[in-house]
Structure 1
Amino acid sequence: MTSGLDWRGRVGDIWAAEWRRTDRSLADLSRHLNAAIAAVAPEQGLALDIGSGAGATSLALHAARPGLCVTGVDLSPDLVTVAQGRAADEGGGADEAHLRFRCDDAIRLAAREGPFDLFVSRHGVMFFPDSVAAFRGLRQAATDDAAFVFSCFDERGHNGFATLADAVIGHTPPTPAGYEPGPFAFADSHRVADWLEQAGWAPGAAARLSFEYVVGAGEDPVADAIAFLSRIGPAARAIAAATPDERDRIVKALGRALSDYRVEDRVVLPASAWIWRAHARGGAG
């Protein structure tokens, strides 16, 4: 489980250092998510990007709706610093009133600075300790016609970065009996719809999306993929915990497995995610 403290510390630091490769891995998904966001985003008002990471979704939303005031919020100071730097470099000279990034808890910031007209997230909602309470907090900080668009991973078995790591390590983690924050916490669409409804949101039909998860590229894409997966994801955790001999075995097996997914100068793993659209329902719940 990745806790808030992890994102504020070691995990957040690694994701900040790897932001270019993580953005690359999710680029195919992001195209679809950004289109879904743009389809409901107002021209003006307030938007909050939950778990904004290195800022890709906030930057895309700002480009599509320059009159909208977009705030990206993340627990990791290093990721927020990266996002702020990208906004300065890529954001078209946006002033802080229309694009800004804050290191804070998303629910507390929403309560303090709302009501918001739009909530968005690229894979940032799966780590709340209590998803219903988090969704309810967002609803209470929303306008009565607010929209909510977010993505989350589908089942573990539909995502090659996890199944490949399981095969290489020789162990598949058991499915949690109940809710447990983490990458696959929102895999069950029926359960997520129920959480949204309990919290005062009216969920639309979730769209299941198969996408290309690019883990390696360049002159030696397999080596690039090994470097990336040795830093982020289930293989990284196993490598970090292994003895030197076991670590060497895992890395070699990882390289052999990744070679099967090389397509010219890229290594592409199959992946699957949900894109959710919801709207505020009635008064704040």
Structure 2
Amino acid sequence: MTTASDWTGRVGRTWAAEWQRTDRCFANLSPRLDAAIRESAPTGPFRAIDIGCGAGSTSLALAAARPDATITAIDLSPDLIAVARTRAAGTASLTIREGDAVATAQQLPSADLLFSRHGVMFFADPVAAFTGLRAAARPGARLVFSCFRDRSDNLWASELMEHVTGQRPTPPPGYVPGPFGFADRAATAAILASAGWAVDGATRVDFDYIAGSGSDPVADAADFFHHIGPLASALKEAADPALDDRLKSALVRYARDTVVAIPASAWIWRATATGEQP
């Protein structure tokens, strides 16, 4: 389980160093999410908050599409914030802030739009977190976020793990903060409803997760998985060079031309802030 202290420390540093490769992983999902965010934005000037902005890609996409927006992007990781600020230099409509997304959002003027690319699955108490975000939103504000569907629909985290370690991960019951915390559609809908959000829908998006590219995409993907994702911990803990060979042999089946593309699946959620806070 990834905690807040992980994001402010080691995990945040790793993701900051790997932001270009993590952006590449979502290259086939991000356009769908960006479109959903634009479609949910009001006409005319508006205020928006990016929850767990990471390296800032989603905020930058919105700022480019809607220069009339005032966007605040928030993340716990000082290292990711540093990357986002560098990338956002010269984008006057975008402010990057380091801190807890829920607490920081409540210090800002009420938002018309809240959004996130895979940044909301790590809350220790998701009902409390989304209730806090509801408090940061005006009535009728829109919420749009993406999150992974079930681990079994994301072969980079299920089939690949089983091939390398010999064990298929068994998800614990109930909500656990992490990449698959919001995989269960019914449970996620209940969390949002309890927190004062009227669910508008959840769209399934199947996409290719680009884990490697270049002249040797298999080696690139193997190196990436040594740093990012559930395999990284397993490989580090095992400290067995043979596992690297098994990883590469598993990745070969997903290699085509100059990329390693692994089947993945996500939800894109849309919700509206109700008239009264819970």
Q: Which amino acid aligns with 1:226?
A: A
Correspondence for 1:133 among 119, 128, 137: 128
Correspondence for 1:165 among 161, 168, 173: 161
Deviates more, 1:137-146 or 1:36-45: 36-45
Correspondence for 1:258 among 251, 272, 278: 251
The CA distance in 2 between the partners of 1:10 and 1:235, in whole Å, is 16
Pairing 1:1-285 to 2, within 5 Å after superposition: 1-42=1-42, 43-88=44-89, 93-95=90-92, 98-163=93-158, 164-243=160-239, 246=240, 248-285=241-278
Q: Give unpaired runs (5+ residues) of structure 2.
A: none
The CA distance in 2 between the partners of 1:240 and 1:114, in whole Å, is 44
1:205-253 CA deviation, whole Å, 9 max, x = no partner?
A: 200110010000000100100110110011111111123xx2x111110
- TM-score, normalization: structure 2? 0.97
The CA distance in 1 between the partners of 2:170 and 2:273, in whole Å, is 35
Residue pair 1:229, 1:235 contacting (<8 A) in 2 also: yes
Q: Which amino acid aligns with 2:195?
A: A
Shift of residue 173, structure 1, vs aligned partner: 2.5
Structure 1: 4+ residue segments shifted above 3 A: none
1:53-93 CA deviation, whole Å, 9 max, x = no partner?
A: 000000001111111111110010000000111112xxxx3
Shift of residue 171, structure 1, vs aligned partner: 1.5
Shift of residue 270, structure 1, vs aligned partner: 0.2
Residue pair 1:41, 1:65 contacting (<8 A) in 2 also: no
The CA distance in 2 between the partners of 1:67 and 1:116, in whole Å, is 14
Shift of residue 172, structure 1, vs aligned partner: 2.2
The CA distance in 1 between the partners of 2:189 and 2:173, in whole Å, is 18
Residue pair 2:74, 2:99 contacting (<8 A) in 1 also: yes
Shift of residue 45, structure 1, vs aligned partner: 2.1
The CA distance in 1 between the partners of 2:31 and 2:153, in whole Å, is 20
Q: Which amino acid aligns with 2:13?
A: D
Residue pair 1:52, 1:72 contacting (<8 A) in 2 also: yes
Identical positions, percent: 52
Shift of residue 204, structure 1, vs aligned partner: 1.3
Q: Which has the larger helix fraction?
A: 1
The CA distance in 1 between the partners of 2:174 and 2:61, in whole Å, is 35
Shift of residue 137, structure 1, vs aligned partner: 0.5
CA RMSD, 1 decimal: 0.9
Q: Which amino acid aligns with 1:99?
A: L
Q: What is the DSSP-based 3-state SS (H/G/I as helix, E as strand, rest coil) of the residue aligned with 2:172?
A: coil
Shift of residue 114, structure 1, vs aligned partner: 3.1
1:242-268 CA deviation, whole Å, 9 max, x = no partner?
A: 23xx2x111110000101111100000
Shift of residue 178, structure 1, vs aligned partner: 2.1
